[in-house]
Amino acid sequence: MAERFEIMQKALLKMLEEKKYLTLRDLLVTMNPSDIAGLFEEVEEERIPLMFRLLPKELAAETFVEMDTDAQELLIRSFSDNELKEIVDELYVDDAAALVEEMPANVVKRILKQADPEMRRSINQILRYPDNSAGSMMTTEYVALRPQMTVEEAILRIRRQGVDKETIYTCYVTEGRKLIGLVTVKDLLLAEQDDTPVQDIMLTNLISVTTHTDQEEVVRMFSKYNFLALPVVDGENRLVGIVTFDDAMDVMEDEATEDIEIMGGMLPSEKTYLRSSVFELFKNRIPWLMLLMVSATFTGLIINAFEGALAAQVALTAFIPMLMGTGGNSGSQSSVTVIRALSLDELELADIWRVIWKELRTSILCGIALAVVCFGKIWLVDRLLMGNEDITLMINLVVCLALAATVIFAKVVGGTLPLIAKALKLDPAVMASPFITTIVDAVSLLLYFLFASSLLGI
Amino acid sequence: MAERFEIMQKALLKMLEEKKYLTLRDLLVTMNPSDIAGLFEEVEEERIPLMFRLLPKELAAETFVEMDTDAQELLIRSFSDNELKEIVDELYVDDAAALVEEMPANVVKRILKQADPEMRRSINQILRYPDNSAGSMMTTEYVALRPQMTVEEAILRIRRQGVDKETIYTCYVTEGRKLIGLVTVKDLLLAEQDDTPVQDIMLTNLISVTTHTDQEEVVRMFSKYNFLALPVVDGENRLVGIVTFDDAMDVMEDEATEDIEIMGGMLPSEKTYLRSSVFELFKNRIPWLMLLMVSATFTGLIINAFEGALAAQVALTAFIPMLMGTGGNSGSQSSVTVIRALSLDELELADIWRVIWKELRTSILCGIALAVVCFGKIWLVDRLLMGNEDITLMINLVVCLALAATVIFAKVVGGTLPLIAKALKLDPAVMASPFITTIVDAVSLLLYFLFASSLLGI
C-alpha cells in the first residue's frame, strides 16, 4: 500500500519536472487532499505555487488545509489577492482560524482583508477563546433548526445550507439562540411522516460543553459517547459552535504525544520530530536533564556519608547500579500506569487509597520475587562462578532486603505521586520516570546503607 | 459538570435502594447509555439485573454494549433465553462479535443460539480474522447501493435499510460485490436532480483497507483522512465490511496506552488499572524487572573490575549515580521521541541517518551544557561548600568528560535503537527507557573508568 503510493509519487514528480502539466492535473484530481498535500512536501519550493495552481478551486482549498505551515505561508505569499480570496472563501471557519493563529502578522493581515465580514467575525470569535479550550477547537458553521419545523422543512433547510457546513449529520435545534435539542439526519430520513415537527423527534437529553471546557475533557467526551459532533454553548446555554470528531481525533493524538513527551522528561513540542530544529530539541530536553543532574547531588552526598561502610565492605559498591536501576524501573512502571489511567479518566483522586493498597500488594509480590532470584543469582554467579570471596551470605542478604524494600517504596510512591500532582492541579505526567527515578535513587541508597549498617555492623 | 453527575448518580442509587422503580425508570430513559453503564458500576451485583430490566429494549441494548465485561456476563447469566434474544437482536454485529470474543465458552454458546442465522454468520466471519486486523474491527452492516440507482432511489433505500446500519452517512457502491465507489448522504441530499444516477456523483478514488490490514494502519488512515468510515475489502476487492470512526478512536486510545505501557517496561494489559487484579499487575510487570535486574550484573562486573581505581580515588564513587541517572534520562528522551514519531508514521526506517545526525548535534549541545554546569556545581558545592578535599580538578574533569560522552552516546543510541527494532519487525516501544537505561548504565561506567584511568593514571 505505502509502497504503491511512493511509486505513484515518483511518477507524479517526474511529470512535474517534464512539464506534463495536463496529465499531472488529470491525475491530481483523482487523489485525496491529504495525499496531494503529502506530495507537496517532496516538491522543490519554487515549484509549489505552480503545481498548486493546477488544482481546481475546491480541491485546492482542501489540499491547502492539509499542508504544513511552511508550505502554506509560501503559497499565501505567492498568491494574488484574488487567488487568496478564492482559497479563504472555501475554508471552513475553524481551519481559517487555525491558519490565522499560525501565520506571521503581515500574512494574517492579508488573510483577514480577503475574508468576507461574516468569516472575519467568526475567526475573531474563535481566536478570543483560550488555547486548548473547546471554543478554540470549534467551528461556527453548523445547521440550526427551529423546533416547529417539520421533517420535510428541516431536510429542505439542510439541502439549502448544507454545502458550507462542516457536518450536516447532526443538526441543532435552537429557540431564541438557546440550545434545546438535537436531531440527526438519520432521524430525519427515517422519520415515518414528513410533517412531524422536529421537536417531536429531537433528542433533548443533550450533552454539551462550554466554550471554556478544556480540550482534554472534550476528547474524553468524544471517546465516551462516540459522537460525530459536540455542541459548544456559552454561559447562558446559547449555541455558539460545534466541535467535530475529526478535530477531537487530532487533539486525542496530540494529547497522547504530549503525555509521552512529558513522561519522557521533556517539555512538550509543537512540531514533529523531523521538523524540529536541533536547537528546539535542545531547549525542550535540557531543563529536566539539568534539574535531575543537580538533584542527583543528594545521591552523591549519601554515598559520601557512607564512605566508611563502602571502604569496609568493597563488595557493596558493585550492587549500587542494580539496586537503583531496579528501583527506578519499578517506580516508573507504577507511575506510568497511573498517569495513563488518569489521562483516560479511569482513576480519580478519591481512588488514592485503592491505588496505594493495590501498589503495596503488587510491590510486595514483585519485591519478594526479585529478592529471591537476586539472592540465587548473586550466590551462583557472583560468588561461585566468578569466585568473588568478598560476597558473604550477610552481604547477599543486605542486597536482597534493600532490593525488596526499594521496589516496595518505589511502586507505592510511583503510584501515589501522580495522584498528588493531580490534587495540586499539576500535570500528573511530570511525576513519571525521570522524577521518580531521582527520588528512588536516593531512597534506595539510604535503605541499602541502613540494612548494611544494622546487619553488617558497619 | 463531573460533580453534577455524581450528585445525580447518588440520587439514582438512593431511588433504587428505596425501590422507587418508576421514578428511577423515568430518569434513566433521559440519560445517555454510557452514563447509565457508568451507574451500573456503582450498583451492588444482585441488583444489576433488576435495574437493567427497567430499561426499554433499545436503550437496554445500547447500555449493555457500554458495560464492562463482568457486568455483561452477570447479566447474560441472569437473562432468560427470550431476554437474551431481545438484546442480541438489537446489537450491531461488531459489538456482538466483540461480546462473543470476551465471554466464556458456555455463555458464548447461549448467545450464538439466540442470534438469528444471518447474525451468527456475520459474527463467525468477523471472528475468523486475526486479532488486531481490520477484519476483526469491522461491522458487516453498511448501506450498499448500485451504480445505476438514481439519487431518489438511493435515499429511499437508505430510509428502508438504515435503521439497522451502524452508519448511513457513507454508502458504498458495489457492482457484483466489488467496491467501485462511495457516496455520502450529504452528496445525495445536496444533489441538484433527483434522477441523477448514483454513478455520476459517486467518488471513485477510493481509499480502502483489506481484512488483514493491521489496526494501527487503519487508525493512521482515519487520522490522516478524517473519514467517518473506511471500507474493508477482501483480496478480490469485494466489499466485506466497514470500520467506523468511533471504533478507530477506541483503537487509537488503546494503541497509545499499549505504547505507553511497553515504554514503561511492562507487558500491555487488556484491562484497566482498577479492574486488574494484583496478580495480573504482577505478571505484567515482573518479566522486564527480572530481565533488567539480571542484566545489571554487567554493571556490577564493571565496578568489580575497576575496584582498584575506586579504592585509590574514593571520591569517584559518589558521582556514579549522577552519571548513570543523567545518561538514562538523556537516552530515554531520545528513544521516547523516536518511538512516538514512529507510531504516528512521522518517521520511517529510511530516516535513520537524519535521526542520527539530529541526535548527534542535539546531544553535543546537551552534553556540553550539562558538563559545564556540572563542573561548576562540583567545584562550588562539593569542593568549596562541602569542603570535600578529595575532589581534585582532575577528578572534576573526569566526571564532566564522562558525563558529556555518556549523554552523547545515550542520545544517539536511544534515537537509533527504536528504528533498528522496527527494521527487525520488533515493536519499537520495547527500546524505551528501561532497556536503554540498562545499556547506558554499563557504557557510562566504562566511559567513566576509561577517562579516570587515562587522566588520573590509575
Q: Do A321 and B324 touch (CB under 8 A)?
A: yes
A451-456 mean pLDDT? 89
B147-151 mean pLDDT? 93
Strand partners, B244: B229
Residue A295: predicted pLDDT: 84
Cβ proximity of B418 and B371 under 8 Å: no
CB of A332 within 8 Å of a chain B CB? The answer is: yes
Instruction: Please write the tens of the pLDDT for every residue from B288-331.
Output: 889 888 888 888 888 888 888 887 787 888 898 899 889 989 99
Task: Report helix, strand or coil for A6.
Answer: helix
Q: Residues B113, B114, B117, CA angle at the centre, nearest 5°? A: 75
For chain A, the 3-state helix, strand and coil shares in percent, each to the nearest 5, are 70, 10, 25
Give the sheet arrangement for strand A178-184, strand by strand.
A144-145, A170-175, A178-184
Instruction: Fill in the DSSP letter of residue A31.
Output: S
Instruction: Please write the tens of the pLDDT for every residue from B430-456.
Output: 887 678 888 898 999 999 999 998 888
Residue of B nearest to A357 (CA): B278
Instruction: Please write the tens of the pLDDT for every residue from B53-96.
Output: 889 888 888 898 888 888 888 888 888 888 888 888 888 888 88
- pLDDT-based confidence at residue B131 (cuts at 50, 70, 90): confident
B123-151 mean pLDDT? 86
Among B185, B301, B433, beta carbon nearest to A433: B433
Residue of B nearest to A266 (CA): B333
Instruction: Fill in the DSSP letter of residue A268.
Output: -
Residue of B nearest to A309 (CA): B314
| Grid coordinates of B330 | 538523556
Q: How far is CA B158 from CA A4, A202, A387, B3, in A?
A: 35, 20, 80, 41
CA distance A15 to A283: 41
Residue that has been written with the C-alpha cell 548504565 in this structure? B441
B positions 124-163 inside 8 Å of A (CB): 155, 158-159, 162-163
Task: Please provide residue A344's backbone torsions phi and psi, each rounded to the nearest 5 degrees.
Answer: -90, 5
Residue A1: predicted pLDDT: 47
Contacts of A235 in chain B (CB under 8 A): none
Among A274, A325, A362, beta carbon nearest to B347: A274
Q: Is the pLDDT of residue B2 over 60?
A: no
Residue of B nearest to A37 (CA): B224
CA distance A266 to A259: 10
Cβ proximity of B91 and B61 under 8 Å: yes
Residue A307: predicted pLDDT: 81
Q: Is the pLDDT of residue B6 over 80?
A: no
CA distance B257 to A319: 33
| Grid coordinates of B429 | 516501544
Q: List, in order, residues 6 or more apart from A178 with CB less than 8 Å away.
A: A236, A237, A238, A239
Q: What percent of chain B has pLDDT above 90?
A: 29
A positions 59-78 inside 8 Å of B (CB): none
Q: How far is CA A449 from CA A307, A407, A444, B24, B299, in A?
A: 10, 16, 9, 61, 19
CA R_g for chain A: 30
Among A226, A259, A351, beta carbon nearest to B246: A226
- pLDDT-based confidence at residue A232 (cuts at 50, 70, 90): very high
Among B190, B307, B314, beta carbon nearest to A159: B190
A334 to chain B, closest Cα gap in Å: 8
CB of B207 within 8 Å of a chain A CB? The answer is: yes
B410 vs B391, which has greater pLDDT? B410
CA distance A405 to A371: 9
Q: Do A253 and B252 touch (CB under 8 A)?
A: yes
Q: Is the pLDDT of residue B264 over 90?
A: no
Among A32, A341, A382, beta carbon nearest to B225: A32
| DSSP secondary structure letters along B284-353 | HHHHHHHHHHHHTHHHHHHHHHTHHHHHH-GGGGGGHHHHHHHHHHHHHHHHHHHHHHHHTTS--GGGHH
Residue that has been written with the C-alpha cell 493495590 in this structure? A358
Mean pLDDT, chain A, rounded, equals 87
Q: List, in order, residues 6 or more apart from A119 with CB less than 8 Å away.
A: A88, A89, A93, A96
Cβ proximity of B242 and B139 under 8 Å: yes
Residue in A308, A337, A335 with CA at minimum distance from that of residue A420: A335
CA atoms within 13 A on the CB side of B32: 15
CB of A352 within 8 Å of a chain B CB? The answer is: no
Residue that has been written with the C-alpha cell 507524479 in this structure? A12
Q: Do B225 and A34 touch (CB under 8 A)?
A: yes
Among B307, B332, B369, beta carbon nearest to A433: B332
Residue A359: predicted pLDDT: 95
B190-217 mean pLDDT? 89
- pLDDT-based confidence at residue A197 (cuts at 50, 70, 90): very high
Contacts of A445 in chain B (CB under 8 A): 321
Instruction: Please write the tens of the pLDDT for every residue from A259-276.
Output: 888 888 888 888 888 888
Q: How far is CA B447 from CA B297, B360, B444, in A?
A: 17, 17, 5
Residue in A86, A26, A78 with CA at minimum distance from that of residue A62: A86
Q: Is the pLDDT of residue A448 over 90?
A: yes
Cβ proximity of A257 and A216 under 8 Å: no
How many contacts (CB atoms, under 8 Å) link A and B?
Answer: 344
Q: List, in order, residues 6 or more apart from B1 with CB less than 8 Å away.
A: A213, A217
CA distance A440 to A456: 23
CA distance B257 to A193: 46
Residue of B nearest to A319 (CA): B300
Amino acid letter for position B100: V
CB of A422 within 8 Å of a chain B CB? The answer is: no
Burial class (CB in 10 A: 0-12, 13-18, 19+), A97: buried
Residue in A106, A47, A28, A44 with CA at minimum distance from that of residue A73: A106
A324 to chain B, closest Cα gap in Å: 8
A299-326 mean pLDDT? 85
CA distance A241 to A210: 10
B positions 265-324 inside 8 Å of A (CB): 265-266, 272-274, 278-279, 281-282, 285-286, 288-290, 292-294, 296-297, 299-301, 303-304, 307, 310-311, 314, 317-322, 324
Q: Do B158 and A189 touch (CB under 8 A)?
A: yes
Among A155, A329, A434, beta carbon nearest to B265: A329
Contacts of A190 in chain B (CB under 8 A): 159, 162-163
B51: left (phi over 0), alpha (psi -120 to 50) or beta: alpha
Cβ proximity of B413 and B439 under 8 Å: yes
CB of B423 within 8 Å of a chain A CB? The answer is: no
CB of B433 within 8 Å of a chain A CB? The answer is: yes
CA distance B277 to B260: 20
Q: How far is CA A205 from CA A276, B30, B183, in A?
A: 45, 6, 31
Q: Do A320 and B337 touch (CB under 8 A)?
A: no
Q: Do A159 and B189 touch (CB under 8 A)?
A: yes
Q: Extract long-range pairs of A125-131: CB within 8 Å, 24+ residues apart.
A: A125/A240, A126/A93, A126/A94, A126/A97, A126/A241, A127/A97, A127/A100, A127/A101, A129/A211, A129/A212, A130/A212
Residue A92: predicted pLDDT: 84
B positions 245-274 inside 8 Å of A (CB): 245-246, 248-250, 252-253, 256-257, 259-261, 263-266, 272-274
Contacts of A296 in chain B (CB under 8 A): 321-322, 325-326
Q: Is the pLDDT of residue B204 over 90?
A: no
* CB crowding B55-92: b at 16 or more within 10 Å, else e: beeebbbbbbbbbeeebbbbbbebbeeebbbbbbebbb
Among A248, A289, A381, beta carbon nearest to B370: A289
| Grid coordinates of B443 | 557504557
| Grid coordinates of A148 | 416547529
Q: Do A365 and B279 touch (CB under 8 A)?
A: yes
What number is the ipTM of this complex?
Answer: 0.80
CB of B205 within 8 Å of a chain A CB? The answer is: yes
Q: List, in order, residues 6 or more apart from B228 with CB less than 8 Å away.
A: A228, A245, B167, B169, B170, B244, B245
Residue of B nearest to A400 (CA): B293
A127 to chain B, closest Cα gap in Å: 23
- pLDDT-based confidence at residue A4 (cuts at 50, 70, 90): low
Residue B4: predicted pLDDT: 66
| Grid coordinates of A56 | 481546481
B106 to chain A, closest Cα gap in Å: 30
Give the sheet arrangement for strand B239-244, strand by strand.
B209-210, B229-233, B239-244
CB of B170 within 8 Å of a chain A CB? The answer is: no
CA atoms within 13 A on the CB side of A445: 28
Q: Do B278 and A344 touch (CB under 8 A)?
A: no
Q: Do B433 and A438 touch (CB under 8 A)?
A: no
| Grid coordinates of B311 | 579504592
Amino acid letter for position A365: L
Q: Do A265 and B320 touch (CB under 8 A)?
A: no
Residue B3: predicted pLDDT: 62
A408-431 mean pLDDT? 91
CA distance B374 to B329: 16
Instruction: Please write the tens of the pLDDT for every residue from A293-308.
Output: 888 888 888 888 888 8
Sequence-ordered alpha helix ranges (H) in B378-392: none
Among A265, A335, A358, beta carbon nearest to B329: A265
CA distance A72 to A67: 6
Q: What percent of chain A has pLDDT above 70?
A: 99
Residue in A140, A186, A183 with CA at minimum distance from that of residue A164: A140
Q: Do A321 and B264 touch (CB under 8 A)?
A: no
For testing the chain B interface, which of A253, A298, A361 should be mutated: the one with the most B CBs within 10 Å?
A253
Name, of A411-420, B155-164, B187-196, B243-252, the range with top average pLDDT: A411-420
Contacts of A217 in chain B (CB under 8 A): 1
Burial class (CB in 10 A: 0-12, 13-18, 19+), A4: exposed
